[in-house]
Amino acid sequence: MPALNPVTRSRLALLAASLVSVAAGPGCASSMSSAGQLDESLRAYHHHLLAGDLDRATAYVSSKALDAFFAVHGDEKHPVIIEDFQVLSVRFLPQKRSKDPVKAVVMVGADIRQRDSITIQAIRYRQVWEQNGERWILADETIAKTRSPDRGGANGEPPKTAPGAEDDPG
């Protein structure tokens, strides 16, 4: 078996830790609504990102989305520092079939910077969350397209998130 490079080894360790955390799950989530459970997951995930704790944040990321997570947030050596964030919108998507997982598209505005920089950049993350039993996990996260002033989001207004390609989870 070929030797794994340090980044791959680190990602595998994070995945293993994430799976243990997901298996343990929250103890009191069964009495909460689906929206309440999503809110709790969003708060915890964003708290860990704001604190710079990528290890704990990955506990909320599906194994399929880990590459997208590291592409957006960097890694331990070169993390993207989140200075501030705000959940802009949450949209629950209709299920195509009854056995499909419940999905939600969450738009997050964030002020970020690179570790060695003082320049703050305002961006928007597009997150797709899926309900897995009584737990919500991040299925995909990308940097959203910037909006032109005529589509909302200008002058401090929250952006309009009309249904369309931006809300399609793929």
> Does the pLDDT of residue 53 top 60, yes or no?
yes
The residue segments making up the domain with residue 97 are: 6-157
Is 146 part of any domain? yes
Is 163 part of any domain? no
For residues 20 and 59, give the distance between their C-alpha atoms in angstroms, rounded to a whole number. Answer: 8
pLDDT in tens, 65-99: 999 999 999 877 788 899 998 999 999 999 888 88
pLDDT in tens, 39-50: 999 999 999 999
- Residue linked to tokens 């738009």: 107
Instruction: Give me the pLDDT at residue 166, please.
Output: 53
Is 78 part of any domain? yes
For residues 167 and 159, give the distance between their C-alpha atoms in angstroms, rounded to a whole number. Answer: 13
Q: CATH number, domain at 92?
A: 3.10.450.50
pLDDT band, very low/low/confident/very high, at 13 (cuts 50, 70, 90): very low
Number of domains, the chain = 1
Alpha helices in 53-96 (DSSP H): 54-57, 66-73
Q: What is the pTM of this model?
A: 0.67
Is 94 part of any domain? yes
**Long-range contacts (CB closer than 8 Å, 24 or more residues apart) made by 140-146:** 140/65, 140/68, 140/169, 140/170, 141/61, 141/65, 141/68, 141/69, 141/72, 142/68, 142/72, 143/72, 144/107
Q: Helix, strand, or coil here: 161?
A: coil
Is 170 part of any domain? no
More confident residue, 135 or 7: 135
Average pLDDT, the chain: 78
